[in-house]
Chain A
């Protein structure tokens, strides 16, 4: 297993367009997290799944954002009607639920909205 993979690595889109990102977690990991990181800041929590269930969403996740994890495997994060403020690095992490879980991160998808 090669770890957590994210696709695409970079995305440039025009304001108002929709974009979708994909995350493939480590295969035996049942938890999957999405974080967003803007320039010069630490990442911020967006949402997380345990298996296919989305258990928590941040208030950062406006109604233009939706995330899915069908069948508890890969996950997608869609942003509709993108705005310039959506420009950021979107990071995915996965872990195996335990008392204390180490998180494994993907390389991230850098979104630029022009």
Chain B
């Protein structure tokens, strides 16, 4: 059974700061997903990666397969980035997701 851990659980930062959220997992995976959840519950997929690094706008996701670790970075953070960010690991074969507990990010103007 895969264990997925995230840190920090809560993060408050000033607008413009560089944000890093970390995720570690315990067993081999097919991919690591970064998801965003806004109040009201809907989940949006930000990244799915199995190696290296991906960038989309101000968001960057990296993964180190050997260390079983991934990070999500937000550059030039903005109050609209405030949300819960969740990492999830997908199993080989059935692709079901094992989720971390999430990081609640609050960006103060």
> Chain A interface (Cβ within 8 Å of chain B)?
31, 33, 35, 37, 40-45, 48, 55-56, 89, 91, 93, 95, 97, 99-108, 110
Contact = CB atoms under 8 A, between A and B. Distances in A.
Contacts of A104: 45
A101 B95 CA distance: 7
Interface residues of B, number: 25
A108 B22 CA distance: 26
Contacts of A40: 101
Nearest to B98: A45
Contacts of A107: 40-42
Interface string B17-32: 0000000000000110
Interface of A is mostly: strand
Given A42-B100, A45-B96, A100 B90 contact: yes
